[in-house]
Structure 1
């Protein structure tokens, strides 16, 4: 009878522990698997955001370099040795950070500019391969010929003295038949991703160990309770069993609450880590010029910004003319310089409200007018240009018109400049319209709601 009672109590003890073990293991495995999947997704997103920020940073650098040499390129003739020399000298001196520089090759693969490795200048590197077997210069030239783009390869890192992964962005300078570009080493991305993965793995491992400790403690406590029950008299067995069952339910609820809290804290740590990394990527992205950085679809496309504003590119992109002169004087100054530079006759009429306009409307009007005049100078072949600002219908209107050659907006109205103007207007819930016909001219009208 004693043996039967002992066996029964052992079975009861086992039945008390086994469900908890099974449920705990199941919950733990499911939670760990979900945490692993989530962490890999977040790490992948984190890595993609870092690469995206590198892409935008490279496009930004190339755009600045193209802006710096734009005037020389436009005025030079193909084969102009003086212009070529001046451009080479400019690019030779454009060095940023410890490992950032610009390189230039002709389409035969001969290096023309390399400020970090001057011994390469004059060498034909068309057959150069990295340790992975990639024909680096050949591939870069092909990408430039196809309209420009990104390329990954291995190259010697000046600050390290050995080869590292590098991401480059190249474009073509058609007038000189050159390939120009710059690159960033992306070994730091791999390090940051590895550090993030290490922290995530550590958090998951800590959570697992916590669960194991909780499970072990639970099993020990239940086993001790079972031993204590066996030490009491048999007549109290039923009471003790009911007490044990009651305690078991309470204990299980408490342990599950603790387990849930541990999972919650672990996931919170993971999310805080990911949030920190995403904020870091966002901060890096905000160091670039968001309104100036766009996918460059052709090698010869550059940001449509005036030369005098290149030195003023900063995070807020606010023209100094608005601070020094105000909107009206700034526009008169800009149109006067435009007329003097191009010889195009300007007709300017500006009537602004008495109250000062909000900063976002002022800068949008200024930038749209600036972009429009730049497009006219480059493409319109106009003799007369009119710029008018007035108030009406609860809106402040800007209209710029010219008598140039015009274009078909449905076919060629998706250029970067027009997209910039439309996006600026739509961001402030404004109205944007463009009318143009071949041989007649173009009129752009923008309106912003004002109180």
Structure 2
């Protein structure tokens, strides 16, 4: 094989491999974020539905209170209560049901054939004894139960979330439920959007890889002595382009998450609608519901800002490492509740290109490990420079860990990433731990000071 062909091969094969690895990493990260987003949407909608069900049952109990609290336990009073409950409904498939403590159905406005039957041993398609589970939830005070039930409007077996309470004096269980097919639609839509994003990203990477390969191949065909040096420069630019693509992908993911979080706001909309209904009805809980929805909206906004900041801190580019770390420390202290003792003396120390990002990510990873695993009360952070190097020390008073255990395949991924970042800049890395004291020390070389006098 001629030299120029070898150079072309050496340029093309690593490039293809790097693009394939980047594509795989982007796909895995997209899928992970997509699952997290779908889970967040599902949890938010379910939380809204739980609040909605609880409000429906509370309203029903309020309407029955005069009869139940009258102290009359005769059959006529009980029948009147059942008739009042049968009249209450919401939506197309919203109704109330009543069972006694032995599992016998006393009232079911949409499935009259069940009235009077003993359903104690009835199971859903998943093998759950539905009535027993509902009674257990009502008696323990939890009230909520997930099961499968026939949907009256379609006759199909559909997942359902119910909320039940007990009328202890009569031994009755009263409740209602909401069918959950809309939750599945929302999560499927989120996963479909992620899949489309992955496909678009992979297509863009394929186009970039193809263009880069063609450029390298075209350069190799006209290779000569002077073009050898040019090829080296092109390879350097391609390597830098790969690094840039990684940071661009982080920015893109940040924008996508910002847009996607709007799905979470659907659940908040339900909360506001409930508040509106309550206020229109002259209820006393409207303002509380409105405040709850507002608080959740603030949480959603904070989550968007937190995710965007984690992907790429803007202060790092605008005001520098010291300001970015100060903000990171303040946010960590507020979020975790730990006491953080932070000291910085960078002065005019200048870091080599890429080192500020590396130090920021290292501290970010270290604080994340402390929050998740250390069970600490205090965190001590020292950042200082002396013109030759920059030293970052992070210490906590937590439970400690076995340093050697972190080299196993199942743990220590974050610390291995820290070690790799340090090695990339030819820096120094040390880690020690014992109960009550764990310390991470990182030193990176500083950029030599240029004297222009």
TM-score by length of 2: 0.58
256-265 or 18-27, larger mean C-alpha shift: 256-265
Shift of 1:196: 0.8
Shift of 1:166: 0.9
8 Å CA contact retained: 2:38, 2:187: yes
For 1:311 and 1:280, the matched residues in 2 are separated by: 23
Q: 1:284 aligns with which of 264, 267, 270?
A: 270
Matched, 1:9 2:4: yes
Shift of 1:285: 2.9
Matched, 1:74 2:64: no
For 1:163 and 1:38, the matched residues in 2 are separated by: 31
Shift of 1:202: 1.9
What secondary structure, in the 3-state scheme, does the structure 1 residue paired with 2:47 have? helix
Aligned to 2:171: 177
What secondary structure, in the 3-state scheme, does the structure 2 residue paired with 1:75 have? coil
For 1:315 and 1:205, the matched residues in 2 are separated by: 46
TM-score by length of 1: 0.58
Mapping of residues 5-404 of structure 1, within 5 Å: 7-77=2-72, 79-229=73-223, 237-250=224-237, 253=240, 257=244, 260-261=247-248, 264-265=251-252, 267-273=254-260, 275-289=261-275, 311-313=281-283, 316-317=286-287
RCO comparison, higher one (Cα < 8 Å, 6+): 1
Shift of 1:168: 0.8
State how many pairs are aligned: 288
Mapping of residues 411-450 of structure 1, within 5 Å: none
For 1:75 and 1:310, the matched residues in 2 are separated by: 29
For 1:257 and 1:245, the matched residues in 2 are separated by: 18
Change (3 A) 1:253 1:142: closer
For 1:228 and 1:315, the matched residues in 2 are separated by: 78
Shift of 1:104: 0.6
The superposition leaves residues 205-250 of structure 1 with CA deviations (integer Å, 9 ceiling, x where unpaired) of: 2212221221122111211121133xxxxxxx22122233334444
Shift of 1:270: 4.4
Change (3 A) 1:202 1:150: same
For 2:287 and 2:250, the matched residues in 1 are separated by: 45
For 1:289 and 1:171, the matched residues in 2 are separated by: 23
8 Å CA contact retained: 1:76, 1:83: no
The superposition leaves residues 361-389 of structure 1 with CA deviations (integer Å, 9 ceiling, x where unpaired) of: xxxxxxxxxxxxxxxxxxxxxxxxxxxxx
What secondary structure, in the 3-state scheme, does the structure 1 residue paired with 2:68 have? helix
Change (3 A) 1:148 1:28: closer
8 Å CA contact retained: 1:148, 1:172: no
Task: Report the RMSD for the aligned CA atoms in angstroms.
Answer: 2.7
8 Å CA contact retained: 1:111, 1:123: yes
For 2:138 and 2:173, the matched residues in 1 are separated by: 6
8 Å CA contact retained: 2:165, 2:173: yes
For 1:256 and 1:45, the matched residues in 2 are separated by: 31
What secondary structure, in the 3-state scheme, does the structure 2 residue paired with 1:183 have? strand
For 2:131 and 2:13, the matched residues in 1 are separated by: 66
8 Å CA contact retained: 2:96, 2:175: yes
8 Å CA contact retained: 1:35, 1:267: no
Gaps of 5+ in 2: 292-453
What secondary structure, in the 3-state scheme, does the structure 2 residue paired with 1:134 have? coil
8 Å CA contact retained: 2:103, 2:118: yes
Aligned to 2:406: none
8 Å CA contact retained: 2:45, 2:266: no
